[in-house]
Amino acid sequence: MCKAKMGNLSLLYLVLIILSSYLAGTAESSSFPSNFIKASCRATRYPSLCVDCLSAYANSIQQSERQLAEVALSVSLAKARSAAMFVVKLTRSGRGLKPRELQAVKDCVDTMGDTMDELRRSIRELGRAAGRVPSQDFVWHVGNVQTWVSAALTNENTCLDGFAGAAMDGNVKGAIRARVLNVARVTSNALALVNRFAARHRPGGGAATHNGVNVP
């Protein structure tokens, strides 16, 4: 009787050990994508923002540097689209806007439109680069991505510059600046991750550098 009970207890103990090991292994495995994102985001100018924006996509990203860069660009595109829609609403209403403010808003709409076009092209081009690692074709395709994302970031800063000066202080400037500044920082992070991917996979390899553009 006692032997039977001891045997059952031993079996139960063994099952618990196996189950605990399995759960621990599952938890460790599921943490890999998140840890990968955190480690990669250290190469950006705004690492906390980078982690906040990309953590929700950890299962899609896994530990793929290309996928990480592509998701970062997609997030930047989504934020640019949202900011542009907000600015368009201001343009259509026009109420309470000074002439100079209205012109700055219209110019910002144009530049944000260019930003979205460049980010869309960058996402497509990054997909073309993926199948050519490493090769001179890869260098060419990823070079296009870097050029277009840099241009998108320049457009975002141009929008911000349009509201510079004391004469532009006010609610309109504050509302637009907050949204476009967020887009610019996210785009800066995306550029850093693209540069990191490029540096690690170009022919001959090479260490990643601390890339990214500092935005006010």
- Interval 69-96: pLDDT, tens: 999 999 999 999 999 998 888 777 666 6
Which one is predicted more confidently, 98 or 67? 67
| CATH class of the structural domain 65-201 | mainly alpha
According to DSSP, residue 55 is labeled G
Residue with more model confidence, 149 or 13: 149
Angle at 188 between CA 83 and CA 77, to 5 degrees: 40
Does the pLDDT at position 208 exceed 50? no
Alpha helical stretches, state H, the chain: 2-41, 47-54, 58-61, 65-93, 99-130, 136-161, 171-201
Q: What is the DSSP letter of 134?
A: S
Q: Are 128 and 61 in contact (CB under 8 A)?
A: no
Distance CA 23, CA 82 (A): 40
What confidence category does residue 137 fall into, taking pLDDT thresholds of 50, 70 and 90?
confident
Mean per-residue pLDDT over the chain, rounded: 80
Domain ranges of the chain: 65-201
Please state the rounded mean pLDDT for residues 154-169: 79
Average pLDDT over residues 56-74: 92
**Neighbour count for residue 3 (Cβ, 10 Å):** 7
Cα 20 to Cα 35: distance, rounded to the nearest angstrom: 22
CA angle centred on 142, ends 140 and 146, rounded to 5°: 115
Q: pLDDT at position 99, please?
A: 79
User: How far is the C-alpha of 85 from the C-alpha of 68, rounded, in Å?
Assistant: 26
Residue 8, Cβ density class (10 Å: 0-12 exposed, 13-18 middle, ≥19 buried):
exposed
Confidence of residue 120 (pLDDT cuts 50, 70, 90): very high
Tokens 């621990």, residue?
A: 24
Q: How far apart are CA 11 and CA 146, in angstroms?
A: 59
pTM for the model: 0.78
Greatest mean pLDDT among 126-135, 172-181, 197-206, 207-216: 172-181
- The mean per-residue pLDDT over the stretch 35-41 comes to 93
Confidence of residue 213 (pLDDT cuts 50, 70, 90): low
Higher-pLDDT residue of 205, 37? 37
Residue 9 has pLDDT above 70, yes or no: no
- pLDDT over threshold 50, residue 98: yes
φ/ψ (deg, to 5) at 210: -80, 95
